[in-house]
Amino acid sequence: MSAEPVTIKAMDVPTSRLRTHVLESGSREAPALVLVHGNVSSARFFAPTMSVLGEHWHCLAADLRGFGLSEAIGVDARRGVRDFADDLHALLTEGGLVPGGEPAHLLGWSLGGGVVLQYAIDHPAAVASLVLESPMSPYGFGGTRDLNGMPCWPDFAGSGGGTASPEMVRRIAAGDRGSDDPTSPRRVLTTLYGQPPFDLPDGLEDELVDGMLQLATGEDFYPGDAVASPNWPGTSPGERGVNNAISPRYCDVSGFAEVGSRPDVLWIRGDSDQIVSDASLVDLGYLGLLGAVPGWPGADIYPPQPMVGQMRAVLDRYRAAGGRYQETVLAGCGHSPHLERPQEFHALVAGFLAAAV
Is 120 buried (19+), middle (13-18) or exposed (0-12) by CB count in 10 A?
A: buried
Strand partners, 12: 21
Assigned domain for 181 exists: no
Assigned domain for 314 exists: yes
Would you say residue 264 has pLDDT above 80? yes
Mean pLDDT, residues 139-147 taken together: 98
Assigned domain for 2 exists: no
Assigned domain for 182 exists: no
Q: Which of 346, 349, 353 is nearest to 2 (CA)?
A: 346
Q: Tell me the three-class secondary structure of 110-126, residue by residue.
A: CHHHHHHHHHHHHCHHH
Percent of the chain beyond pLDDT 70? 99
Assigned domain for 349 exists: yes
Q: Where are the alpha helices (DSSP H) in the chain?
A: 47-53, 82-94, 111-122, 166-173, 185-188, 204-213, 242-245, 284-290, 307-320, 337-340, 342-356
Q: Report the distance separating Cα 81 and Cα 130, nearest Å.
A: 17
168 within 8 A of 183, measured Cβ to Cβ: yes
More confident residue, 319 or 101: 319
Mean pLDDT across the chain, nearest whole number? 96
62 within 8 A of 97, measured Cβ to Cβ: no
Assigned domain for 116 exists: yes
Read off the pLDDT of residues 149-178 as tens digits, 9 standing for 90 and up. 999 999 999 999 999 999 999 999 999 999
Would you say residue 242 has pLDDT above 80? yes
122 within 8 A of 98, measured Cβ to Cβ: no
Assigned domain for 198 exists: no
Tell me how many domains the chain contains: 1
Would you say residue 251 has pLDDT above 70? yes
pLDDT reported for residue 192: 97
Q: Tell me the three-class secondary structure of 40-51, residue by residue.
A: CCCHHHHHHHHH
Q: Report the distance separating Cα 286 and Cα 303, nearest Å.
A: 7
Read off the pLDDT of residues 118-128 as tens digits, 9 standing for 90 and up. 999 999 999 99
273 within 8 A of 134, measured Cβ to Cβ: yes
pLDDT reported for residue 5: 79
Read off the pLDDT of residues 16-46 as tens digits, 9 standing for 90 and up. 999 999 999 999 999 999 999 999 999 999 9
Would you say residue 3 has pLDDT above 60? no
Q: Which of 232, 246, 333, 303 is nearest to 40 (CA)?
A: 246
pLDDT reported for residue 49: 98
Would you say residue 2 has pLDDT above 90? no
- Output the pTM of the full model: 0.97
Mean pLDDT, residues 167-195 taken together: 97
Q: Which of 273, 168, 183, 158 is nearest to 215 (CA)?
A: 168
Mean pLDDT, residues 134-156 taken together: 98
Percent of the chain beyond pLDDT 90? 94
Would you say residue 1 has pLDDT above 50? no
Mean pLDDT, residues 223-242 taken together: 98
Which structural domain, as residue segments, surrounds residue 324? 8-144+251-356
Q: Report the distance separating Cα 281 and Cα 192, nearest Å.
A: 8
111 within 8 A of 38, measured Cβ to Cβ: yes
Tell me the pLDDT band of 255, cut-offs 50, 70 and 90. Answer: very high
Assigned domain for 241 exists: no
Read off the pLDDT of residues 44-99 as tens digits, 9 standing for 90 and up. 999 999 999 999 999 999 999 999 999 999 999 999 999 999 999 999 999 889 87
Give the gyration radius of the chain's Cα atoms: 19
pLDDT reported for residue 357: 67
| Identity of the residue numbered 232 | W
CATH number (domain holding residue 338): 3.40.50.1820
